[in-house]
Amino acid sequence: ELEDRVAAINLEGAEGMDIPNSVLNRIIAVKEEHEKFLEIDNAYKAERVEIEKKYFLLKNEVWKKRAEIISGGAEVDQKVPCEEGDDVKEIPSFWAAALSNHQTIGQLVTEEDMEALEALTNISCEYNESWSGFTLTFTFKENKYFSNTELKKKYEVTPDLLEEKATETKKKQKAKSGRNAGQVRFVTKTTPKPSFFHYFSDPKLEEDEEEEEEEEDENFTLNIDEDYEVAHAFRTELIPDALLWYTGEAMEEHDEDEDDDEDDDSEDGPAKESEEVGGSAETGFTAAPAGAQDPNAPECKQS
């Protein structure tokens, strides 16, 4: 109620409120100071966006060069001697290894995904003009799993998921009754199975999760929180430090950080729950391989 009263206060006063005018004057003065703070904070955010844009462009040029080196599109200096016939022009399975090594993203990757992921040549991130959204782009070389060369996933962040499923076919036996009692028939049933490529499905909403609890079949689609956690990991960890995830160095650093966090948690209590998030995906993904928040992260809106 007090919050409603303060919100109703304006420079003309607030009739009918059981607050002395002397106190109202002070609240009004505090409100005026708060408006000054908001002006400063908005200016700070606008300036920070421009700085983020400036340095992202510089970083992105480095990452583009990195992508050319990994895929074999750029020549490199021969820092170590190569034997005759040693002329590999790319770093095979670079992104497949980096994804598998990441503590969050790697949980989505299955052994049956690896053949498709070996065709992955780059992962990039682009931001919109207002810096209120980003798009993850997964670039593949020609392969038997995709009809196009790119899969995209777009998120709106203020200040802020595909229908195809990787499936396997199982056969279940059911005994017949009545005239055909004793006979056995085979029923072919298609059920989802774990795969990294479920990431390109729309995330589950809360009501979807409740319905799924009532069903027997497993659904490997991520919920909104999990989906954004993966996107955040791509944007802030895997893309910037791809080499360290490929070599495994980042895994060691993460394990050390986890040990430190566990020590802190034992002193400070349980960690906070993540915020609710969402997003959208767009892609030409036509056939999945068979078998194949940051605590300060802003709230996301599905687009």
Read off the pLDDT of residues 166-207 as tens digits, 9 standing for 90 and up: 333 233 333 334 444 444 444 444 556 789 999 998 888 865
pLDDT, position 291 = 38
Each residue's pLDDT tens digit, 248-289: 999 987 666 666 556 666 565 544 443 334 455 554 433 333
Please, which residues have CB within 8 angstroms of residue 197's CB and are 6 or more apart in sequence? 113, 116, 164, 166, 285, 288, 289, 292
Asked if the model's pLDDT at residue 132 lies above 50, the reply is yes
Asked if residue 203 has a cis previous peptide bond (ω within 30° of 0), the answer is: no
**Residue 160's pLDDT band (boundaries 50, 70, 90)?**
very low
Token digits for 180? 């055909």
* Residues 38-82 pLDDT 10s: 999 989 888 888 998 999 999 999 999 999 999 999 999 989 999
- The position carrying tokens 């495994």 is 248
Asked whether the predicted pLDDT for residue 210 surpasses 90, the reply is no
| Residue 215, pLDDT score | 53
Long-range Cβ pairs for the range 44-50 (8 Å, 24+)? 45/159, 49/130, 49/131
Contacts 24+ apart (CB under 8 A), 172-180: none
